[in-house]
Structure formats: C-alpha cells, structure tokens
Chains A and B, each alone.
Chain A
C-alpha cells in the first residue's frame, strides 16, 4: 500500500489534557480514508494536525515524505497550495460572492488572467452542481449548498489531498447522501487522496476505502470496510451497532462523585 501521509508517535495536549496519545498511522494514496469515532475522541484535532493548523507536541507528520510538523512560513504555504479543506461550517468568506470565494486562492497564488480564472471558477462550480449561483453570497445559500461551494473552493487549486471535516454535520439525510455521492464522484474522477472525518455510519459505508477509528485519543481500529465489519473490538461493535455506552460505577465511586471528593 502506497501511503500519502505517515504519522509517527504523535502526541498532543490541550492545556494539561492529553488529547492524542502517541498515534502512529498511515493514510493510503488515492484512496478515501475515513476517520471515525464518537464526539470528543480527538478526530477533528487529528485532522487539524494533518492540515497543519495545529502542531503536535511530539512526533512527526510526513506528507509525501516531508515532515509538515517541522515546517514553517513559505514552505508550509507551498504545501498548503497542494491541499484543499472543507470545514464543518464550510467557512466561506461571508463578504465575498461564491465566484470570489472560489477565485480567491487562484487570485492569491497564481498570475492567471481574469478570463482564465472565470473559466476555472465556472468549471469548479459546475463540478459541485452550483452552476448559476456564482453571484450569490454565502448567507443566501442553504447548508448543503454552502458545503458544495466549500468543496469547489477546496478544489480550486487542483489539490492532491482533500480533507473534509464532518461533511454531513447539520444536513438532512437526503442532502448528506448527495454530498457523499459528490465525494465519490470526485474520488473517481480525479483519483485524489481523500481524508474524511465523520461519525455518520451511512457515510462510512458509502465512501470509505479505509477506516481509522479513534477512541479517547487512541487508535482502536485501522483497516478496510470488510475488516471493520468483522472486527470484534468492543469499541467498534458499540459504534457500529449504535449502542449507548453505559458506564458502570460501584457504590463507592458513585459516592465519591456526589460527595465531590
């Protein structure tokens, strides 16, 4: 398996709390990797490290053989031009129209002429099914459309790596399914390396080639979908069968909680 991203021994803290505990994982090239886990397990934090918004306290993150954890300034900007990110709330700039949003990275990083940029923007908007919405502002769009526009912006520079943070969060099942279809289409058309953070079971089974499951900052599972279904790890079973996790407390422990000592 050829890997696009290799993470070795990564540890991160928020204040004194250890959020990611000595993670070692690799993300295969030209595949869709889904990072799953319950809320607060550290999956968004992991994603923020992969896109270099946060730096780990320990460990390395190698993308195409280069350690981005030790990169700063213009080297990091070069790396960022080759990746695209869709944020949870799409994070389009509200003061700009869709066209201006998608054109932004092109205008900032290339010396392309305006007519060329116009054509690229129309292509990208068409790709995500938003032809004709170029002059709309983000506030005039529905949640699903914003996410599509966010994907168009992430695709603007033709990246090798595409990251999605909870693409179906806050969307109805039909719109979410539409977004999954779009992710599949992008994957087939451009054979990109996709990394998707989600907790939607339906999404996982539609789009994933490879699954990484986190729990409380540890990796509990890595493998493909068949291996995921066959896994007997209790955390994986609980997640797949949508069971509520019950915490068992002894009377002494319960007494400690209520007495506050």
Chain B
C-alpha cells in the first residue's frame, strides 16, 4: 500500500530534523572531546604527544612558509597598486602605507593565511583521519585503549594554535614588505617616509586583534578537518567527498568567525 501524502511529508520533516540533531550531537561531542583531551587530560597527568606535535608543526606550519610568503608578497603589491589608483586622485598617495598596514594586519593577513592553511592542512587532516577510519586504523587505536582524539587531533590542534598566528605574522610582515617594495619603486615614496608612516599607522591593537583571530581560525580549521575525517565510514570516495567538504566548510566558518570577531573588536576595542 502506498503511504499517504501527509505521512511522507511528515516523515521527510522528521528525517531532516533527526539528521540535523544528529549532526549537532556529533559536532558537540567532538568539540567536548577535543577540549577534554587538550586541556583537562594533560592537567590530570596524561602526556601530550610531544614528538607528534613537533612533526605536525613542521608539516602544517614550517612547510607552509614558502607559499605564505609568496602570496603575501603579491597581495602586498596588488593592494598597494589598487589603493594608489584611488588615492592618487587626491594627492594622498602616502596613505597607501596606512591603508596597507592596517588592512593587512587587521584583516587580510589572518584571513588569507587561514584560507591557505584550510586548503593545505585542513584538507590533509580530513583525508588522513578519513583514510585511517576507512582502513580500520581508528578502530585499532580504540581497541588498544588509545583515544583517537588524543592520538590524532590534539597534536594537530596544538600545532595550528601555534603556527596559525606565526604564519599570519609572517604574512603581515611580507605583505607590508611587498607594499613597501612597490611604493619605493613605482610610487616614488621614500623608504624612510613609508616606514615612519607605517609605524605610526599600525597600533599594537591592530596586530593583536589579527593574531587573536588567527589563533581562532587555527582552532576552527583543525576541528572542521577532524570532524569530517571522523565522519568517514568506509571507502575512498567518501574520503574524497569529506576532504572537499572540510575545505569548503572551514573557509565558510573562518569567514563567519571573522565577521563575529571583527564586529566584537569594532565595538569593544
């Protein structure tokens, strides 16, 4: 017998609702576990995997320095050119230094670095955990009495908590350097003027808000990567899908948190 239309409509609503609640449940369990194994369990004397953390720092942080440097340099040049295009009309070309310094440290540094890291490391986290899940390696860890979150996620989280602000700082420095390079060559600003203008424009507050944001982005990227990795049940196709999903959702969440933090800092700092 065919089900009634009202049955199938209510059924569809119910199924959606259940799946939304399931996702919320999974996410909050994961966040809870990550917080426990990162903060509480070390205080109770469970060692953190120091060697694994160092190796993650090298993979996710140190190895990303070249790409971050190159992108930062170009972004600096592009931004200097674009702002000069407008500021020239008012004869206010020296303000390229202000605009560049503030926009890179407050906004572009953290966000572009986060997008690079999401593409490089967030996807790698999801793929690594996902393929370990598919080949029963995660189950093997569990049956050995080793918590997979402590074993796999905590080193990555600590690494990105440290390296995301570090990479952002590098981006800030090189990006401003790129703008400086263009300004002294094409825009005919003297190096000394550009330097003093930049130093006067950037406040410690600007730098700090940028780095705090970067720290939060690091946490977001790791958690999203881990979430999608652990959602894999079986098969290579699912690993691919989850890897893509992790990049898309970490970029989305990075921008969402950026919006949140920027509003917060605008009103309260």
- Mask, B126-157, CB within 8 Å of A = 1, is 00000010011101111111100000000000
A125 within 8 A of B: no
A182 within 8 A of B: no
Nearest-neighbor residue (CB-CB) of A156 within chain B: B144
Cross-chain contact A108 with B146 (CB below 8 angstroms): yes
Q: How far is the CA of A72 from the CA of B145 in the complex (A)?
A: 11
CB distance from B126 to the nearest CB of A (A): 16
A89 within 8 A of B: yes
CB < 8 Å: which of B137, B145, B146 contacts A91? B137
Q: What residues of B have a CB within 8 angstroms of the CB of A80 in the complex?
A: 142-145
A51 within 8 A of B: yes
Cross-chain contact A91 with B144 (CB below 8 angstroms): no
Q: What residues of A have a CB within 8 angstroms of the CB of B139 in the complex?
A: 53, 87, 91
Q: What residues of A have a CB within 8 angstroms of the CB of B140 in the complex?
A: 85, 87, 91-93
Q: What residues of B have a CB within 8 angstroms of the CB of A77 in the complex?
A: 145
Count of interface residues, chain B, beta-carbon cutoff 8 Å: 12
Q: What residues of A have a CB within 8 angstroms of the CB of B136 in the complex?
A: 87-89, 91
Cross-chain contact B137 with A105 (CB below 8 angstroms): no
Cross-chain contact A104 with B135 (CB below 8 angstroms): no
A83 within 8 A of B: yes
Q: How far is the CA of A88 from the CA of B140 in the complex (A)?
A: 11
Nearest-neighbor residue (CB-CB) of A108 within chain B: B146
Q: Among residues 58 to 102 in chain A, which have CB atoms less than 8 Å away from a CB atom of chain B? A: 76-78, 80-81, 83, 85, 87-89, 91-94
Q: How far is the CA of A109 from the CA of B144 in the complex (A)?
A: 9
Q: What residues of A have a CB within 8 angstroms of the CB of B145 in the complex?
A: 76-78, 80-81, 105, 108-109
CB distance from A86 to the nearest CB of B (A): 9
CB distance from A253 to the nearest CB of B (A): 18
CB distance from B33 to the nearest CB of A (A): 11
Q: What residues of B have a CB within 8 angstroms of the CB of A85 in the complex?
A: 140, 143
CB distance from A147 to the nearest CB of B (A): 13
Q: What residues of B have a CB within 8 angstroms of the CB of A91 in the complex?
A: 135-137, 139-140
CB distance from A204 to the nearest CB of B (A): 23
Cross-chain contact B143 with A89 (CB below 8 angstroms): no
Q: Among residues 97 to 119 in chain A, which have CB atoms less than 8 Å away from a CB atom of chain B? A: 104-105, 108-109
Q: How far is the CA of A89 from the CA of B131 in the complex (A)?
A: 13
Nearest-neighbor residue (CB-CB) of A52 within chain B: B143
Q: Which of A77, A83, A88, A108 has the most CB of B within 10 A?
A: A108
Q: Among residues 197 to 246 in chain A, which have CB atoms less than 8 Å away from a CB atom of chain B? A: none
Q: Which of A52, A78, A89 has the most CB of B within 10 A?
A: A89
CB distance from B178 to the nearest CB of A (A): 37
Nearest-neighbor residue (CB-CB) of B131 within chain A: A94
Q: Which of B139, B145, B146 has the most CB of A within 10 A?
A: B145
Q: How far is the CA of A117 from the CA of B141 in the complex (A)?
A: 19
Cross-chain contact A83 with B143 (CB below 8 angstroms): yes
Q: How far is the CA of A136 from the CA of B139 in the complex (A)?
A: 22
CB < 8 Å: which of B132, B137, B142, B144 contacts A108? B144
Nearest-neighbor residue (CB-CB) of A78 within chain B: B145
Question: A89-B136, A91-B136 known; A53 and B143 CB under 8 Å?
Answer: yes
CB distance from B29 to the nearest CB of A (A): 13
Q: What residues of A have a CB within 8 angstroms of the CB of B141 in the complex?
A: 93
Q: How far is the CA of A76 from the CA of B146 in the complex (A)?
A: 11
Q: How far is the CA of A78 from the CA of B143 in the complex (A)?
A: 11
Cross-chain contact A93 with B137 (CB below 8 angstroms): yes
Q: What residues of B have a CB within 8 angstroms of the CB of A76 in the complex?
A: 145
Q: What residues of A have a CB within 8 angstroms of the CB of B137 in the complex?
A: 91-94
Q: How far is the CA of A151 from the CA of B135 in the complex (A)?
A: 16
CB distance from B220 to the nearest CB of A (A): 25
Q: How far is the CA of A94 from the CA of B146 in the complex (A)?
A: 16
Q: How far is the CA of A1 from the CA of B146 in the complex (A)?
A: 33
Q: What residues of A have a CB within 8 angstroms of the CB of B142 in the complex?
A: 53, 80
Q: What residues of B have a CB within 8 angstroms of the CB of A93 in the complex?
A: 132, 137, 140-141
Nearest-neighbor residue (CB-CB) of B47 within chain A: A108
Q: What residues of B have a CB within 8 angstroms of the CB of A108 in the complex?
A: 144-146
Pairs across A and B, CB under 8 Å, 5 listed: A52-B143, A80-B144, A91-B136, A94-B132, A105-B144
Closest 6 CB pairs of A and B: A80-B145, A91-B140, A77-B145, A91-B136, A85-B143, A87-B136
Known pairs A87-B136, A93-B141 / 14 extra A-B pairs, C-beta < 8 Å: A53-B143, A80-B142, A80-B144, A85-B140, A85-B143, A88-B136, A89-B136, A91-B136, A91-B137, A94-B132, A94-B135, A104-B144, A108-B146, A109-B145
